Chain A
Amino acid sequence: MFDSIKQWLAERKGTAVGDHDTSNLPTPKTAGDQLLSSSRLIVLDLETTGLNPAKDQVIAIGAVAIESGVIHLDDQFDLILRRPDLDIRETVLIHGIGPEALTQGHETEDALLHLLDWMNGDPVLAYHSAFDQKFLEKALKTQLGYTTGHLWMDVAELMPAFFPDANTKGKSLDHWADYFALEVSERHHAAADALVTAELTLIALNKARKTGVNTLRELTEKLHYQRRLQSMHRY
């Protein structure tokens, strides 16, 4: 896959920075009657310079694709963005990307365009997806002026929806990974976190199939119901 990115980037070298044509990008799909068993889903994780979308920036994007209920490792996204101007001392210790690795990264605009292209408008899953969604949408808007929304689903909601009785000792990605004895090859590496999130998604999809949740619409309804259930508990 990396060759294809290199080639794609090389082809883009000719075009001027800032002169991006966003009109030919794939249209995001909506939650319809697509069968989960034959859909492509994106599972994504971002590393950022901090927790505040208003002032912090994306420094790495890791994503894998689930297609027909299987993770295809030849269809993944693992990029460090080029942001040499950023002050990243605060969070660098968490994800292990130092200034040197960052400068080897890709031009942000190019990377984001390629990401959109690669995502193909497919639904996006992430753990605590609101965070990744805010950061990514802000980056897409400021860098590319792109504002079309994707269908996002939160794996942090997906898991308790299908495993309500799981005694996970907590709600974090680590807790669920521990619960299913998953190994994270490199914690806080965007691609590794995306893979473990995708593994959890596979487990949830397996359960979904067995409980009669077959389409994308049924899945989003299930999550919607789960949210309402939770907010009811809260009051």
Chain B
Amino acid sequence: MKERRQVPPRSPDSMDFVMAAASQDSTRPQNTRAIMSFLREHAPFSNMDDNHLAHFAEHATLRFYADGDEVLKPDDGPVKRFYVVKQGRIKGERHNEKEDRAETTFSITQGECFPLAALISERPTRTLHRASGDTFCLSIEHEAFVTLFSESDTFRDFCLRGVSSLLDQVNQRIQSNAMASIGSNNRLDTPLERYALRNPIVCSPDLPVRKAVARMHENDVGSMIITDDNRRPTGIFTLRDLRTMIAEGKGPLDTPIRQIMTPDPMRLPATADAFEAAMLMAEHHFAHICVVDDDDKLIGVISESDLFSLQRVDLVNLARTIGTATHLRTLVSLRTNVSRLVDTMLAHGADSGQVVKIITTLNDVTVRRVLELNLRKNDPGIPFTWLTFGSEGRQEQTLLTDQDNGILFETPEGMTEEQVREKLLPFARKVNDDLAECGFTLCKGNIMASNPKLCLSVREWDDWFVRFIDASTPQNLVYSSIFLDMRAVFGPTEPLHRLLEHVLERIRKNALFQKMLAGNAFQRKPPLTMFNGFRYLNDEKKHALDLKRQGLAPFVESVRVFALANGVEQANTLERMDALARKGVFDAKDANAWKEAYSLIQAIRMRAHQEMLNRGEELTNYIDPDDLNPLDKRILRESFRQAQRLQQKLEVTYQL
């Protein structure tokens, strides 16, 4: 007796549906149609033609792997098949030689494909692919793969991009969104050597200004580079310098140019890209940069207008306008331009790392200008270093930002620290208020320079950190993400450097503090469930992920522990990872994977911010993963998995 025949009959409605479906596509066998509709639910198949899907389905085999079975391994020789997970999961496994154990490097779930890179380059896989749980895979042979690859543009794009990097895909998407309104193909990562560098007009230091200007006029250029006998740039002279010279009556036109020129001009190697040039100009408000070879010999000059005509990015101009604003209200009005600039930068191919740096640079320029304007009005008469903490300290600010700052001063002879504070605090109060007007929200936790506890002398800061590190209370650990990511924005940097050396030395010697820091970082789990689903924020926000606290923080916190324990002075998370890789603390491949994952989350976060801004909403760090397309979802999940791996390293290192 067949039990399965005793199920209740179908309702008439579903019958109609079945019949309709069957007559629509009845030339294909049921199982082929079933595989096609499975494929259609997943990228890149969702965008492929039915004929191509049918080709896949008709040439597919279905294989089963029990939990723990090997699917592909490096010894198998060149990869011959293309696989799609139909059910279950495949994990990538790499042997960690240092710790002599297997590490999971990636996880491929339903609807995802493997092994793209190995298949396309016709080499063996480098990673052992192992089934995790009962797993079925559809697969096609190399020949069918090649057919699809050559006939389907969608499929080919997917395969090639999958190989290059997921990061590119996200960036491409960001750009194509922003590009739609701008319509330009110039990318900021174009190397300077690719720009049409005019043969630069050069002269020797002894040339009289009159002759130099005549030569500039003949050649219709705005700048002249002064070089030594070896063609190394020693100075630059621009029309602006000529104007100043005449306006201020600095001397006759027969003066040798070396007395008027700006010595030691900014320079970059030819391999540097447009982005670096723009950043350097924005930071120093120079309009020209010398491009030199490895030997420091002049190759060409790149001007602000070169960049502008190519990029139409108003970064340098905006930075200069901010940096020379004479009134607070000008600064306030300029802030809206920053957000527009971010849009443009994204459109021109800046990646998330570049954009956060631009925002930080412009924020720094703003902070400096606010300080300068206040000094002009009301100089407290005591030199100080303006410190920033937290995300601004890490140079990781986005458009959503608040103030975390403090003051470091050297107590002048004959004054007490209290007396210095009496002078500095009212000044700091005014600066904090002015910054708030410019859009830097006042810090709710009062981590601001106007707080007497954060306006301290070098000695006091040093004592403060001794207490902070030696008496590691839970409250201190909460503050570690703020005070251990510190940077000078204004004033002499030397005192901070000395302070940091002491702090790092103390942390390096204090294993207990390191372990507590690690334990704290380990608490911040990436938002993934055991089964690789997303773990949402809480019951109230059922479908929300907090990209900053759940996504980025696990990276930032874990990397900080390693950085501080290994004497890395940088505060920027990406730079810290680079430094840790150089020191051999991180495996270079791991460091790259983590940097990429971190940047991807940051990119998705920034795109969300821009969209909120365009809709006129208040900026938050929440996103609903269901709003993302399947590719971004997968990228996000994979990035969170990288955070888990980083935390595993923390766990092993500190035996948590």
Contact = CB atoms under 8 A, between A and B. Distances in A.
Interface of A: 1-2, 51, 62, 64, 69-74, 76, 78, 93-94, 96, 98, 100-101, 104, 127-128, 131, 170-174, 180-183, 185-189, 191-192, 195, 198-199, 202-203, 205-207, 210
A73 B60 contact: yes
Contact of B4 (A69, A71, A172, A206): A172
B586 to A, nearest CB: 38
B10 interface: yes
Tell me if A's interface is mostly helix, strand, loop or mixed.
mixed
A158 B32 CA distance: 26
Interface of B: 1-5, 7, 9-10, 15, 18-19, 22, 26-27, 29-35, 37-38, 57-66, 69, 87, 134, 136
Contacts of B7: 94, 174, 187-188
A172 B3 contact: yes
Contacts of B27: 2
Contact of B15 (A93, A100, A131, A181): A93
A203 B134 CA distance: 9
B66 to A, nearest CB: 5
A104 B60 CA distance: 27
Contacts of B136: 199, 202
A183 B62 CA distance: 14
Nearest to B58: A74
Contact of A199 (B19, B38, B64): B64
A188 B2 CA distance: 12
B30 A192 contact: yes
A104 B35 CA distance: 24
B65 A206 contact: yes
Given A64-B31, A174-B7, A206-B64, 12 more contacts: A51-B1, A70-B62, A101-B26, A182-B87, A185-B34, A185-B38, A191-B29, A198-B62, A202-B62, A202-B63, A205-B64, A207-B66
B19 A96 contact: yes
A189 B19 contact: no
17 contacts: A2-B27, A70-B61, A76-B31, A101-B19, A101-B22, A128-B1, A180-B134, A181-B134, A182-B87, A186-B18, A186-B30, A186-B34, A199-B64, A205-B64, A206-B65, A206-B66, A206-B69
Contacts of A187: 7
Given A78-B29, A127-B4, A93 B10 contact: yes
B500 to A, nearest CB: 55
A191 B34 CA distance: 10
Contacts of B66: 203, 206-207, 210
Chain B interface SS verdict (over half):
mixed
B34 A192 contact: yes
Contact of B62 (A73, A78, A98, A189): A73
B135 to A, nearest CB: 10
Contacts, number: 110
A202 B61 contact: no
Contacts of A192: 30-31, 34
A168 to B, nearest CB: 12
Contact of B29 (A2, A131, A173, A203): A2
A128 B3 CA distance: 9
Contacts of A188: 7
Nearest to B65: A206
A185 B59 contact: no
Nearest to B69: A206
Contacts of A64: 31
A172 B5 CA distance: 10
Nearest to A73: B60
A94 B10 contact: yes
Contacts of A78: 29-31
A187 B2 CA distance: 14
Contacts of A173: 4
A49 to B, nearest CB: 11
A108 B65 CA distance: 38
A198 to B, nearest CB: 8
What are the 7 A-B residue pairs with the smallest beta carbon separation, nearest first? A185-B34, A93-B9, A202-B64, A78-B29, A71-B62, A191-B30, A96-B18
A185 B60 CA distance: 16
Nearest to A51: B5
A180 B65 CA distance: 12
B365 to A, nearest CB: 57
A171 B6 CA distance: 13
By CB atoms of chain A within 10 A, which of B3, B37, B65, B134 has the most?
B3
A73 B64 contact: no
A158 B87 CA distance: 22
Contact of A94 (B9, B38, B63): B9
Contacts of A174: 4, 7
Contacts of B31: 64, 73, 76, 78, 185, 191-192, 195
Nearest to B29: A78
Contacts of A71: 61-63
Nearest to A193: B4
A96 B4 contact: no
Contacts of B87: 181-183
